[in-house]
Amino acid sequence: METKYISCIECKGNIEVPDDAMVGELLECPDCGKIYEIKEVKNGKIDYKEAEAISEDWGE
Protein backbone atom coordinates (compact mmCIF):
# COMPACT_ATOMS: atom_id res chain seq x y z
CA MET A 1 0.00 0.00 0.00
CA GLU A 2 1.31 3.41 -0.81
CA THR A 3 1.21 6.04 1.85
CA LYS A 4 -0.86 9.09 1.10
CA TYR A 5 -0.07 12.59 2.11
CA ILE A 6 -1.78 15.91 2.02
CA SER A 7 0.23 19.08 2.07
CA CYS A 8 -0.13 21.62 4.81
CA ILE A 9 -1.35 24.98 3.57
CA GLU A 10 0.42 26.69 6.42
CA CYS A 11 3.92 25.24 6.32
CA LYS A 12 3.86 23.16 3.12
CA GLY A 13 4.75 20.10 5.14
CA ASN A 14 3.48 16.64 4.35
CA ILE A 15 0.81 15.20 6.56
CA GLU A 16 0.43 11.45 6.45
CA VAL A 17 -3.07 10.18 5.80
CA PRO A 18 -3.91 6.76 7.23
CA ASP A 19 -5.14 4.13 4.78
CA ASP A 20 -8.41 3.90 6.60
CA ALA A 21 -8.95 7.65 6.82
CA MET A 22 -12.59 8.57 6.57
CA VAL A 23 -14.55 11.70 5.80
CA GLY A 24 -14.70 13.92 8.82
CA GLU A 25 -11.46 12.63 10.24
CA LEU A 26 -9.08 15.23 11.59
CA LEU A 27 -5.40 15.24 10.72
CA GLU A 28 -2.83 17.33 12.49
CA CYS A 29 0.23 18.74 10.80
CA PRO A 30 3.24 17.34 12.67
CA ASP A 31 5.24 20.46 11.91
CA CYS A 32 2.96 23.36 12.79
CA GLY A 33 0.04 21.67 14.52
CA LYS A 34 -2.59 22.94 12.11
CA ILE A 35 -5.69 20.76 11.91
CA TYR A 36 -7.25 19.59 8.67
CA GLU A 37 -10.52 17.82 8.15
CA ILE A 38 -11.02 15.27 5.41
CA LYS A 39 -13.88 16.33 3.18
CA GLU A 40 -13.90 13.53 0.67
CA VAL A 41 -11.97 10.39 -0.21
CA LYS A 42 -12.47 9.32 -3.78
CA ASN A 43 -10.37 7.04 -5.96
CA GLY A 44 -7.46 7.45 -3.61
CA LYS A 45 -7.61 11.22 -3.74
CA ILE A 46 -8.02 13.15 -0.57
CA ASP A 47 -10.01 16.35 -0.49
CA TYR A 48 -9.49 18.32 2.67
CA LYS A 49 -10.04 21.66 4.28
CA GLU A 50 -8.79 23.58 7.23
CA ALA A 51 -10.64 22.58 10.34
CA GLU A 52 -11.91 25.14 12.76
CA ALA A 53 -9.73 25.40 15.80
CA ILE A 54 -11.15 23.20 18.45
CA SER A 55 -11.73 25.22 21.54
CA GLU A 56 -12.95 23.87 24.79
CA ASP A 57 -13.44 27.35 26.07
CA TRP A 58 -16.98 28.13 25.10
CA GLY A 59 -17.27 30.95 27.57
CA GLU A 60 -20.37 31.82 29.46
Nearest one of 19, 54, 27, 21 to 40, comparing CA atoms: 21
Q: Cα separation of 21 and 25, whole Å?
A: 7
Residue 1 or 53 having the CB closest to Zn ion: 53
Q: Which of residues 1-60 bind Zn ion (CB under 5 A)?
A: 8, 10-11, 13, 29, 31-32, 34
Q: Cα separation of 19 and 60, whole Å?
A: 40
Number of residues that bind Zn ion (CB under 5 A): 8
Residue 8 or 46 having the CB closest to Zn ion: 8
**Interface contacts to Zn ion, rule CB under 5 A:** 8, 10-11, 13, 29, 31-32, 34
